[in-house]
A and B are shown apart, each in its own frame.
Chain A
Amino acid sequence: MSTLSIKHLVKEYVPGKPVLKDISLDIEGRGITAIIGPSGTGKSTLIRCINRLINPTSGEMIFEGQDLAKLSGQPLREARRRIGMVFQEYNLVERLTVMENVLSGRLGYMGAWDAWRRNFKDSDIQKAFALLTRVGLADFANRRADELSGGQRQRVGIARAVMQSPGLLLADEPTSSLDPKTSVEIMEVMRDLAAENDIPVMINIHQVDLGKRYAQRVIGMSGGLVVYDGAPSGMDDEILKKIYGGESWLAT
């Protein structure tokens, strides 16, 4: 059974003008699935529909036996706990410490009274510290998140997502605000942590080369539709022209 099964997903921000036109996808097992496509084609919308930061107009998204599209309230929050998310601009809570940011991955499992008093379980704190050590930021545990550089912040963002013990990791252009070297480092951290914890990853990415390098599967989107779905090696210039349009931008 696949991890996530999307069927006929449609999202219209303005009625009659769909951004996502009938997307059907199955994400199976583990590994990285990269979604590429021009800006404004609905990649972010697709990712955000899955954990319902955006509500889809119609369609199904079956995850762990439930249709995510139909959930609300408590069941939706419980489903969100199992879906980690990494953001383009890291979205750390800047005035909290690095440790608090990583531990906020456990908020879905805690009552308000415990959360307000920072009454985290020792096992959670140990796991958070192990994750921070793993991403090389153990020394920064007590620093405020806004003291960190972009690459460091994204590592914290990844640790926070993994802290949720998710069954699926979503990443919305996690490297778009980073320099090329840091981007590669972040992709490696994400790939390794996902592999170690057995989490399949869905990632939106602008850098086609990075996507091809780290993904086992590439999905090309254009105009709200899937126009390519296959191995990274199958992405030739013809396919890229189909996805992005034109050809003058392709290196000769």
Chain B
Amino acid sequence: MNTASVTRDTFFAPTLGKRIAMIGVLVYVVYAAATLGLSLERVEKGIGYGARFLAGFFPPSFTETDILPGLLESLQIAFLSSLFGTVLAVPIAVLAARNLMPTWVTWIARLIIIFCRSFHPVIIAIIAVKAVGFGAAAGIIALTFASVGFVGKLLSEAIEEISLKQIEAVRATGASFMNVIAFGVIPQVMNRFIGFVAYETDSNLRNSTMVGVVGAGGIGGTLFSAFQRFDYSFVAGIIICIIALVMIGEVLQIYVKRVFR
């Protein structure tokens, strides 16, 4: 092949496979929209409903006294489930790290993590409500499961990326396994771990406002019953409070990260 015969198509020719894939995606979008009845007419009608619904939000009402207890309960659910989830996730993540553990151990730990990640928190909340009854305990169980899955997966991946040279040096001093963890592994993953936990707490705060919809405690229950009463101005008040709570959590998260780093 001489230089003159080299053209754009030599290196960037579109492949048949790529073209088929793109046409396939396009066809599926049209098919999915058609079978679900997603026509322009339907969208127009929906926007009309939506506008009337949103008009019902004004003025937002904060007068009811059950916003604050509900919000506080959500906060407690978020905090406790993050704590329990993290405490459980750390040993599971160490056991799941393929560079520290024999393969059969990592598979057991990995199965636990996969199991925790398989279900949306709301699905686990529905099961937990059946198991332990209505209230915050069910919410804590649901979000703890989610936290174990999330922190466990990310932390075990972080551990698998650490430098083995540093581990080797600590092992060479005669350190026990736990001491290797303390001086070789933890310093290398601590920064990322704090990030994971902060993100997890943040996401639990958001999810804790939702598990109440299925009766697992927190502000979600109040929100759901307001919806069912068509009390949209109260719904708006609750939503504004949730937004405020999540924003406060965001600010706190930045502050906590700064303290620990």
Which residues of A are in contact with B by a Cβ distance under 8 Å?
Answer: 51, 53, 77-85, 87, 89, 91-96, 100, 104-110, 112, 115-116, 157, 160, 164
Contacts and interface: CB of A to CB of B under 8 A. Distances in A.
B254 interface: no
A104 B183 contact: yes
B175 A91 contact: no
B190 interface: yes
A51 to B, nearest CB: 6
A104 B185 CA distance: 13
Nearest to B184: A93
Contacts of B168: 53, 87, 91
B24 interface: no
Interface residues of B, number: 22
B122 to A, nearest CB: 37
Contact of A105 (B173, B178, B188, B190): B173
B103 interface: no
Contacts, number: 86
B187 interface: yes
B176 A80 contact: no
Given A82-B174, A92-B169, A96-B183, 9 more contacts: A87-B168, A89-B165, A93-B187, A95-B187, A107-B170, A107-B176, A108-B173, A110-B179, A112-B179
B188 A115 contact: no
Contact of B166 (A84, A92, A164): A92
B38 interface: no
Contacts of B6: none
Nearest to B171: A53
B183 A164 contact: no
A107 B187 contact: no
Contacts of B172: 51, 53, 80, 83, 85
A107 B166 contact: no
Given A77-B174, A160-B173, A91 B183 contact: no
A53 B184 CA distance: 15
A85 B169 contact: yes
Contacts of B175: 77, 104, 107-108, 115
A109 B187 CA distance: 20
Instruction: From B166, B172, B175, B183, name the one whose CB has the most chain A CB atoms within 10 angstroms.
Output: B172
A104 B173 contact: yes
B247 interface: no
Given A92-B169, A110-B179, A78 B174 contact: yes
B256 interface: no
A112 B184 contact: no
Given A104-B183, A107-B183, A93 B178 contact: no
Contacts of B182: 112, 115-116
Nearest to B191: A95
Given A107-B179, A115-B182, A79 B174 contact: yes
Contacts of A108: 173-176, 179
A80 B173 contact: yes
18 contacts: A77-B175, A80-B174, A81-B174, A85-B172, A91-B165, A91-B169, A92-B166, A93-B184, A93-B187, A104-B173, A107-B179, A108-B176, A110-B179, A112-B178, A115-B178, A115-B183, A164-B173, A164-B174
Nearest to A88: B165
Contacts of A104: 169-170, 173, 175, 183
A91 B166 contact: yes
A109 B175 CA distance: 8
B187 to A, nearest CB: 4
